Amino acid sequence: MLERQRIGLALLGIAAAVATLPAGAQATYDEPWRPQFHFSQPENFMNDPNGLVYYKGEYHLFYQYRCYESSCPAVGVSWGHAVSRDLLHWEHLPVAIPALGVEQVYSGSAVFDAWNTSGCGTVDDPPLVAVYTNAYTDPAVGAFGVQVQSIAASMDGRTLARYQYNPVLIEPRPDFRDPKVFWHAPSRRWIMAVAKPYDARVGLYSSPDLKSWTHQSDFGPLGATGTYPIRIWEVPDLFPLAVDGDPLDRRWVMVVSAIGQYHELGMGTVVGGGTQAFVGDFDGTRFVAEDRAEYATPSADWLDWGKDNYAGITFDNVPDGRRVFIGWVNNWEYAQQVPTSPWQGQQSVPRELTLRMIDGVARLVARPIAELAGLREGPVHSSGGGRVEGTRRLDVLGREFDIEAEFALGGAAQFGLRVLVGEGERTAIGYDVASGRVFIDRTQSGTAGTALSAFAGVHSAPLPARGGKVRLRILVDRSVVEVFANDGERVLTDLVYPGSESQGLELFALDGDVRLQSLNVWRMRSVWGGAPAQIPASPADTPPLPIACDAASAPVPPADGGSKSQPRVLGQGGAIDRRTLLAMLLALALAPGLRWTRKRAESRP
């Protein structure tokens, strides 16, 4: 998360801008611009997603929750909390890790400690362990530095108790935050990726128990490091993925959020932040990015090329092994001034990340999770096979859509769709043939947005028209527009603030025609059910007492025995040949401890 005082914004200055509910009031979830199928908190200010983890049958979404009124569940920067069984419908829970005086609770992650390595749970009932940054608002209080790493644990997925001997990781520097932790099976230890923001570096640390950490290496600076002094790397994530689903070709991906001044990217000048991705190899000690031209320049390989996706991370312990990502839909340039009330901030739809070989290079692609299609109604419009020239208004109105379109290039210089169309208002999603770029144009997306500093603009990403065709999937959710081009090869996310009457949908082609191969439009159901909501009060007047985390741990299995805390990944240190794979599978099948290993796996929540 952003230490704003270092770029001219006071850390606590956000207090004056936070939208709050009157005492006893509830959010209706039908306020102007309230997203209907994106997660948002009932009230106050939310930024980074934190602690994404699957634990005991539920997906947990913790998040940076800021509230500064005396009536707040916790005053300051805390971890908010929501749970879901399908990644779509969320139940709001009390604040999970509240701020305590000068001790603010900044971003971090959470893991399922399957073998109770931390000692915070039991062998038979392993804990959820959150790893987060403690930030001290008064540097004089932080005897170990302004920002340090701490842990908290939960046995029920609801109440988190701080570790008695926090902090667990200290560095002699004031900017040190956003730990992302995962279990690395080959080395049988935990790995933490943590940001060293003003160096544009990610520190990698290892631990056998989540409590004692050893520095292994640093990654960076590389790619988008920005222009000092507005140059920050934050919220790293590190994980393996198979290229095109091939278990014999595994690569590692380092995701880093970056704030700085980046020019000539097609994104405009980015100050408020974007998310970049590096593909490479991790051997348990060091991450090395592949030798690619775009990594050697500020023109990073952005995970999202829009203006409004930042600080995203992925879930730990997803049952089916998918790599699911959620990012904060906002931008620090105007996040405190957005016109929504009584809340500010929302998260992206969950996205499945995969590696796809594109033009001979393994690229990170993102698509909405398959579950999202379950919210569709219709289609309310289907067409295709004809030519479009000029503007064609469609016979459908609405503010919540899932749209799939495919175009074949013709003579048009630009083509695409316009959504949320009204009197003098529209948001265009299209393709510019000459530049070969997909774009979102929000220069006419409503006066409430364009009045914000640095808001109006056109944001674009390079995209080849493969086979002379361009495919677009567009999610429209009142104030959020997400675009997935060519099956997630490029992704853009932008906020928009049109009037409530701006509900039109139209096709366009400029300076020529384009063939519309297919178009399907679905209306999207709300996940909120229309019931008023608020963040529940904590069942206790004070946070739970700190815990010692000194219980016995289970024997950690060998590397080829897998781990409940992460789906087992073959060849995490690089590709392995088929003979080795067969030998490993045979050895596992004949292993005398197979029954014990299976019993542990079957006990997984």
382 contact partners, CB below 8 Å, separation of at least 6: 518, 519, 520, 521
Does residue 405 come out as left (phi exceeding 0), alpha (psi in the -120 to 50 range) or beta? beta
Is residue 50 within 8 A of residue 131, CB to CB? The reply is: no
Burial of 247 (0-12, 13-18, 19+ CB in 10 A): middle
414 contact partners, CB below 8 Å, separation of at least 6: 430, 431, 432, 433, 508, 509, 510, 511
Q: How far, in Å, CA of 449 to CA of 362, rounded?
A: 37
CB crowding 351-382: b at 16 or more within 10 Å, else e? bbbbbbeeeeebbbbbbbbeebeebbeebbbe
- What are the C-alpha distances in Å from 573 to residues 121, 286, 363, 460, 569? 30, 11, 19, 35, 10
7 token code pair: 């770029």
Half-sphere exposure of 326 (CA within 13 A, CB side): 25
Q: How far, in Å, CA of 87 to CA of 500, rounded?
A: 27
Count the Cβ atoms, other than its own, within 10 Å of residue 339. Answer: 17
Find tokens 């701006």 and name the residue: 502
Residues noted as catalytic: 48
Is residue 355 within 8 A of residue 254, CB to CB? The reply is: no
Cα 306 → chain centroid: 14
Give the ranges where 364-482 is alpha helix by DSSP (H).
447-450
- What are the C-alpha distances in Å from 258 to residues 255, 305, 310, 479? 10, 12, 8, 24
Of 213, 143, 209, 208, residue with least CA distance to 179: 213
Q: How far, in Å, CA of 202 to CA of 151, rounded?
A: 19
Of 107, 110, 90, 123, residue with least CA distance to 190: 110
Half-sphere exposure of 585 (CA within 13 A, CB side): 9
Cα 240 → chain centroid: 16
Host H or E run for residue 314: strand 310-314
Cα 21 → chain centroid: 27
Find tokens 């774009």 and name the residue: 439
Phi, psi of 153, rounded to the nearest 5 degrees: -135, 155
Q: Could you tell me which residues are beta bridge partners of residue 363?
A: 356
